[in-house]
Structure 1
Amino acid sequence: TGNVMFWPSSYTRLILEKFGLADYITKQFYSDEIKAYKPMREAFLAPLNYFNVSPNEALHIGDTKAEDFEGALAVGMYACWVNPAAGKIEKIHQRGFVVRSIKDLLGVLSQL
């Protein structure tokens, strides 16, 4: 697994290490290190390239429509927008879904 964060890497690394979570993340990607931020293509392609995964084999999950959802779709990934205002799981694009909570993700995975 990997994570892509929008704020400085030094803060997040400290937090993940302090709470023992860093061991559960194979690779971390940060905007300040890869010199790209969502919705820039490189922000999505850097993790895909590292893990040798093609965009059509990956699902990006995020909480912003423009940066996360549309950015992922633009590079050919599947996308899931976590929007607390959403109702039920809804397919809103050929490769995209909107859900109310991360608790709904299993329902999305079953539709892929």
Structure 2
Amino acid sequence: MDRQPCTYILASKPYGTLYIGVTSDLIARLYQHRTGSVPGFTSRYTVHSLIRFELFGQMEGAILREQQLKRWHRQWKINLIESDNPQWIDLAPSLGLPSMGRDGC
């Protein structure tokens, strides 16, 4: 996947801790989350499984979507995730990264 603005959602496990982020390079950003190379929320709470991502033509659209999703109630986020990924499957392997583990996440 080439560099492209993207909003993404990570989870620690199905129905676990969620993280919403934005990036122009999803593969590189996932690698950072998964290796803990950038200390913070995702490394502290082991939030590494990619369960949803949305691609955008411009970074402005991705940032606006990230801000919108962060304001949503948790159940709305879960409903959004399950609309496309009802099993909470780690989508990273479809992008060429290894899966992070068990429980479908």
TM-score, normalised to structure 2, is 0.26
Between structures 1 and 2, the one with greater strand share: 1
Q: Find the structure with the greater CA-based Rg.
A: 1
